[in-house]
């Protein structure tokens, strides 16, 4: 168990984490104005570190607002303040700009988003589908492979 200790005038608080990535994200999240320990823990309970990286990379405000205590304004502040810092986080080496979809991939992405999947999840599933089936895969093949990836 990894421990984060916060010492304040009126309290000494200990927070435990199962992985180093969670502890590092907790530390980074608490650097954002308006995000305290309680909100940071809420974000980490709603999103894994990998989901945080994907959400920040794609600018997915909706993913952050699902966490308790995070409204649209705070989600936007988190996205803007952490966009540059997220690349240095564990798993952030793979952080890339949001996928620029073209052709059949763009149509497949639109289809998956319109079916109710989050954009970041759909982009990840389509990136794998495009990698597996080639860049010139047909639209129906991409959608089918994307749905299979999202079902897991």
Contact between residue 122 and residue 105 where contact means Cβ atoms under 8 Å apart: no
- Residue 39 reports pLDDT greater than 60: yes
DSSP state letter for 9: S
Model pTM? 0.60
CATH code for the domain in which residue 115 is found: 1.10.8
Q: Are residues 59 and 130 in the same domain?
A: no
Rg (CA), the chain: 18
- C-alpha to C-alpha distance for 73 and 23, rounded to whole angstroms: 24
> Stretch 22-38: mean pLDDT, rounded?
92
What mean pLDDT is reported for the chain? 84
Print the domain residue range for 31.
2-94
pLDDT band, very low/low/confident/very high, at 93 (cuts 50, 70, 90) = very low
Q: What is the pLDDT of residue 88?
A: 66
Q: Are residues 143 and 116 in the same domain?
A: yes
- C-alpha to C-alpha distance for 79 and 34, rounded to whole angstroms: 13
């Amino acid at each position: 168990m990894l421990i984060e200790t916060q010492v304040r005038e009126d309290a000494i608080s200990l927070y435990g984490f199962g992985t180093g990535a969670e502890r590092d994200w907790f530390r980074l999240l608490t650097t954002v104005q308006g995000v305290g320990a309680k909100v940071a823990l809420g974000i980490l309970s709603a999103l894994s570190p990998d989901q945080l990286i994907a959400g920040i990379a794609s600018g997915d405000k909706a993913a952050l607002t699902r966490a308790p205590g995070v409204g649209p304004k705070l989600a936007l502040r988190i996205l803007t303040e952490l966009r540059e810092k997220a690349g240095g986080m564990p798993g952030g080496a793979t952080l890339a700009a949001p996928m620029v979809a073209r052709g059949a991939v763009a149509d497949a992405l639109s289809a998956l988003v319109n079916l109710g999947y989050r954009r970041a999840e759909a982009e990840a599933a389509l990136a794998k589908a495009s990698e597996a089936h080639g860049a010139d895969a047909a639209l129906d093949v991409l959608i089918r492979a994307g749905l299979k990836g999202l079902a897991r």
